[in-house]
Structure 1
Amino acid sequence: MSREAAQTVSALEGVGEDGVMEPKRYDALLLASFGGPEGQEDVIPFLRNVTRGRGIPDERLEEVATHYRANGGVSPINAQNRALKAAVEAELERRGIDLPLYWGNRNWEPYTPDTLEQIVEDGHRRVLAFSTSAYSGYSSCRQYREDYGMALRDRGLEGRLTVDKVRQYFDHPGFVEAFAEGLREGLAEVKAELAERGVTEPRLRLLFCTHSIPMTDADAAGPRLPEGEEHEGGNLYTAQHLAVARSVLERVPEAEGIPHSLVYQSRSGAPHIPWLEPDVNDALQELKGEVDGVVLIPLGFVSDHMEVKWDLDTEATDTCRELGIVSRRTPTPGTHPAFVSGLVDLIEERHQANPGSKPERASAAEGGPWPDVCPAGCCVKVMRDGTCRPTVAAVDSEVGAAQGA
């Protein structure tokens, strides 16, 4: 069975033409994420997992490992997932939702296949999963669905366990509000520091930051549009980020009138392959002499993992310092109460606590709410030869630098 076929493992009964599933009774939950090394000895094995099947030698992987080596070989992502799991469990208990929450990663312990085996051993048969990726795209949505199908096939769990996935939640109010609060605080801090320097009428700029991806992958994100139609920004990936940025700004009146733009980070791979631009550091260079302060909003990320810590907190912050620009990087949602509450809202959309109930599908940005079950051909993986085949794992945002290793 191919990964394409394995994707159909989710039970599809009760799915409307709009891709919305009727609520079901689940007996377990799964937090799915990318995973990351937790020590120097883990770094190369982890990167081998990320780039499996591509024959990349360890010497090249060691070049990619620099950021992990500089941080003791530890990615923050696993610790952050443990904290998120605990926060979601507390919110489930507060709401009286009696569902055990498990955790599985794509590329490091605890691995998703092992977690699914444990779920079955514990007597559960219907799982609802949510991931730490909010936007549409192959590695952030479709690949997670394929991961579940491949795991069930490879571990002999087909027919014994059903795994469904909540919708992509870029537009959910809980996700948006977490960024809005951070922007309010970051903007106030930049203004205060500039005031201390005697700048009473500061020139400010807001940069919404997300992971760059190859243009071919961006063009393949989401379902195909009818001929003659086009997404804002040229592709769905960009359009979703622009919509969320507007929704964040609507919640922060202090930001009214301040110019803003969407920028990208963590570009990697062969120079001749086009990726989404501009890079955050290039954008900052263009602002030299034109602004006094910048707020960097990591709009594309759920938690402060390695790329946020390195690409924004180190590289972009260093660029600002060199240019004499006061900067603040706002927090990612992490375990923000609004975000955690929003995740449980997504669970309640799908979990039939009360027979016959149909919970509201909250949405705070254009383009949402996203369907529960994506249409065929949505978010395919574009191979280097230009073909679209969901047969090779894409490198996710946590280790985007490995994309072109």
Structure 2
Amino acid sequence: MPDVLDASPYDALLLLSFGGPEGPDDVVPFLENVTRGRGIPTERLKEVGQHYFLFGGVSPINDQNRALLDALREDFAEHGLDLPVYWGNRNWAPYLTDTLRDLVRDGRRRVLVLATSAYASYSGCRQYRENLADAVAALREEGLEPPAIDKLRHYFNHPGFVEPMTEGVLRSLADLPEELRDGAHLAFTTHSIPTAAADTSGPPEAHGDGGAYVRQHLDVAQVIADAVRERTGVDHPWQLVYQSRSGAPHIPWLEPDICDHLEERHAAGAPAVVMAPIGFVSDHMEVLYDLDTEAEAKAGELGLPVRRSATVGADPRFAAAVRDLVLERAAAERGRPVTPCALGALGPSHHLCPVNCCPARAPRPAAAGADSPYA
């Protein structure tokens, strides 16, 4: 096809991420950004930030985003896709509003957004869209006309996202002692969220127990477990488990927690566990602390051998998947027929978030959706 690498009508891609501190002095201001409006005292934020201080006050997420930026730019250049890639964060520099201002000053008029969250949920999708709306409003107050913004679909089941995680699980299994390998359990981990938020995740027709959030993770876990069985001949037992809970104890969140799960597997006689963080794009702080520090310490107490498989990060296959998603969305916007890539039983996600998709408790404007006030 002559326009196979045609990204029009888009003239830029924005990598939108969470952000993280890059030194000890950044930790509390960063957490103040994350928790703004909740009235959490500074002393409490210092306590919450202890896991950052264990790593010198530096979250790895910004360096991981820089690596992903390089991978995307390299992939686009190698394949002749002329699309500049920008980067903005929700909670730390480079801030989203500043990056959107750069896009305006560079003359960009229609922008695609890649969020570093692969699944449907309020915190993983709509909150990003709310931050985009806030940035648009801020620029308009300055007298600037922001570009039109669209968000790439959820990519949790794109082959370029799933395949690197599958290989990570296979490598972790191979790293176990041979006598433990075939009996190892697979613990697919993701961020715990309140059950009420999970139940309303995704479009309204997907709402229900666990909503789209749980359904999508279970689908990816099944795809990976099936692929591991096909490549090794071993059917490993597996379960979706959760980590990184941060809410008040009286509010129900998704369970079981990974540390509780390790205790259960040990009590049941599992010889080993591979922890596969399928809910995360990169090895950022919640992976390094909640799995590599807390969960591994728990496994050490139990005498349970564990391995932790890698996230996708800046894997070239993920960069190629982003290119595919960009071209898919661009072709659809031009009215061309597209066949989206997706593994598993759920099929490709929607291009445009529908009304009441992952609703907030208190409604706020959100960009890049059917209910967006911004065309």
Q: Do the structures match in fold with TM over 0.5?
A: yes
Find the counterpart in structure 1 of residue 279 from structure 2. Answer: 300
Q: What does residue range 256-405 of structure 1 map to in structure 2 within 5 Å?
A: 256-289=234-267, 290-352=269-331, 357-382=336-361, 388-390=362-364
CA distance in 1, matches of 2:64, 2:71: 10
CA distance in 2, matches of 1:35, 1:216: 26
* 1:175 alignment partner AA: F
The alpha-carbon deviation at position 207 of structure 1 amounts to 0.4
Say if 1:91 and 1:182 are closer, same or farther in 2 by CA, change over 3 A: same
Does residue 251 (structure 1) correspond to residue 227 (structure 2)? The answer is: yes
Find the counterpart in structure 2 of residue 385 from structure 1. Answer: none
The alpha-carbon deviation at position 24 of structure 1 amounts to 4.6
CA distance in 2, matches of 1:209, 1:38: 26
Find the counterpart in structure 1 of residue 175 from structure 2. Answer: 189
Residues 180 and 272, structure 2, Cα contact 8 Å, conserved in 1: no
Does residue 176 (structure 1) correspond to residue 162 (structure 2)? The answer is: yes
CA distance in 2, matches of 1:272, 1:353: 45
CA distance in 1, matches of 2:14, 2:122: 19
Q: Deviations over 1:89-118 (max 9, x none)?
A: 001111101111000000000001100100
Q: Deviations over 1:259-286 (max 9, x none)?
A: 1001000112221110000001001101
* 2:166 alignment partner AA: A
Q: Deviations over 1:181-240 (max 9, x none)?
A: 1111111111xx2x4xxx3785321100111001111111112238xxx75x64221111
For 1:295, what is the secondary structure of its paired residue? Answer: strand
For 1:164, what is the secondary structure of its paired residue? Answer: strand
Find the counterpart in structure 2 of residue 222 from structure 1. Answer: 202
Does residue 204 (structure 1) correspond to residue 184 (structure 2)? The answer is: yes
For 1:145, what is the secondary structure of its paired residue? Answer: helix
* 1:98 alignment partner AA: D
Find the counterpart in structure 2 of residue 116 from structure 1. Answer: 100
CA distance in 2, matches of 1:255, 1:202: 9
Q: TM-score, normalised by structure 2?
A: 0.90
CA distance in 1, matches of 2:135, 2:364: 15
Does residue 240 (structure 1) correspond to residue 224 (structure 2)? The answer is: no
**Relative contact order, CA 8 A, sep 6+: which one is greater?**
1
* 2:340 alignment partner AA: R
Residues 16 and 87, structure 2, Cα contact 8 Å, conserved in 1: yes
CA distance in 2, matches of 1:234, 1:372: 22
Q: Which of 71, 92, 96 is the equivalent residue of 2:80? A: 96
For structure 1, the 5+ residue unaligned runs are: 1-22, 383-387, 393-405
The alpha-carbon deviation at position 179 of structure 1 amounts to 0.7
For 2:263, what is the secondary structure of its paired residue? Answer: helix
Residues 25 and 353, structure 1, Cα contact 8 Å, conserved in 2: no
* 2:168 alignment partner AA: G
Q: Which of 63, 70, 80 is the equivalent residue of 2:47? A: 63
The alpha-carbon deviation at position 389 of structure 1 amounts to 3.0
* 1:258 alignment partner AA: H
For 1:225, what is the secondary structure of its paired residue? Answer: helix
Residues 30 and 104, structure 1, Cα contact 8 Å, conserved in 2: yes
* 2:195 alignment partner AA: M
> Identity over aligned residues, as a percent?
50
CA distance in 2, matches of 1:200, 1:318: 19
Find the counterpart in structure 2 of residue 82 from structure 1. Answer: 66
* 1:242 alignment partner AA: L
Say if 1:87 and 1:202 are closer, same or farther in 2 by CA, change over 3 A: closer
The alpha-carbon deviation at position 355 of structure 1 amounts to 6.2
Say if 1:255 and 1:141 are closer, same or farther in 2 by CA, change over 3 A: farther
Runs of 4+ aligned structure 1 residues displaced above 6 Å come to: none
Find the counterpart in structure 2 of residue 19 from structure 1. Answer: none
Residues 133 and 365, structure 2, Cα contact 8 Å, conserved in 1: no
Residues 24 and 350, structure 1, Cα contact 8 Å, conserved in 2: no
Find the counterpart in structure 2 of residue 403 from structure 1. Answer: none
* 1:287 alignment partner AA: R
Q: What does residue range 9-28 of structure 1 map to in structure 2 within 5 Å?
A: 24-28=8-12
CA distance in 2, matches of 1:143, 1:298: 22
Say if 1:234 and 1:122 are closer, same or farther in 2 by CA, change over 3 A: closer
For structure 2, the 5+ residue unaligned runs are: 1-6, 367-375
Say if 1:54 and 1:354 are closer, same or farther in 2 by CA, change over 3 A: closer
* 2:243 alignment partner AA: Q
- Please say which of residues 212-221 and 73-82 is displaced more in the overlay: 212-221
Say if 1:46 and 1:248 are closer, same or farther in 2 by CA, change over 3 A: same
* 1:259 alignment partner AA: P
Say if 1:389 and 1:281 are closer, same or farther in 2 by CA, change over 3 A: same
Residues 202 and 293, structure 1, Cα contact 8 Å, conserved in 2: no
The alpha-carbon deviation at position 339 of structure 1 amounts to 1.3
Q: How many residues align?
A: 355
